[in-house]
Amino acid sequence: MGNTAEQGPQAAQHRKFLARAVELARDNVTNEGGRPFGAVLVRDGEIIAEGVNTIHINGDLTGHAELEAMRRATIEAGEPRLDGCVIYASGHPCPMCLSAMYLSGVSAVYYACSQEDGDPYGLSTADIYHELTLPPQQRQLPMAYLPLAEGPAVYRDWQARKDRE
């Protein structure tokens, strides 16, 4: 897919879902006092969940539009996989949201506003993306591996469960 959406017969459908994501973002700003982010989760050409940024409601920093849509869909389905789903987001997904998309099996992501579009408004996460390209010892957030002998046992316990997700 690259950085821009392909042209052709599906382009109109992609634009329709992106327009809905932008509409959700605009409504969140205008009517809810929230941040300008909306997301639509689509499977087989049908919207299965929508979300808007909800950080303003309770201070939950994970209340991003994409995560809210994914959360609704996985809770309703009762399982964490979103294989075959496409996310349409009003803005370029942050690293947290993108990671969740990878972990859940989302198949594609389309977004209407770039990092450059959001930068003048303090709504770009390009600096975090850059930070993640650095070796851990060069990042601003220190990370340290401190192994505990009993640590891996919890992984073995999980693997031994028959009912694990």
* Positions of the chain with pLDDT under 50: 1-2
User: Checking phi first, is residue 78 left (phi over 0); if not, alpha (psi -120 to 50) or beta?
Assistant: left
pTM for the predicted model, two decimal places:
0.90
pLDDT value of position 1: 44
> What's the confidence (pLDDT) of residue 4?
61
User: β-strands 46-52, 38-43: how paired?
Assistant: antiparallel
| Each residue's pLDDT tens digit, 32-48 | 999 999 999 999 999 99
Residues whose CB is less than 8 angstroms from the CB of residue 143 and which lie 6 or more positions away in sequence, other chains included: 136
CA dihedral 32, 113, 107, 14 (to 10 degrees): 90
For the question of residue 66 being annotated catalytic, the response is yes
Q: Which of 6, 66, 79, 150 is catalytic?
A: 66
pLDDT of residue 35: 97
Distances in Å between the alpha carbon of 101 and those of 36, 67, 106, 130? 20, 9, 5, 19
Where are the domains positioned within the chain? Answer: 9-163
Total residue count of the chain as it appears in this document = 165
Cα separation, 28 vs 89, whole angstroms = 14
Top-level class of domain 9-163: alpha beta
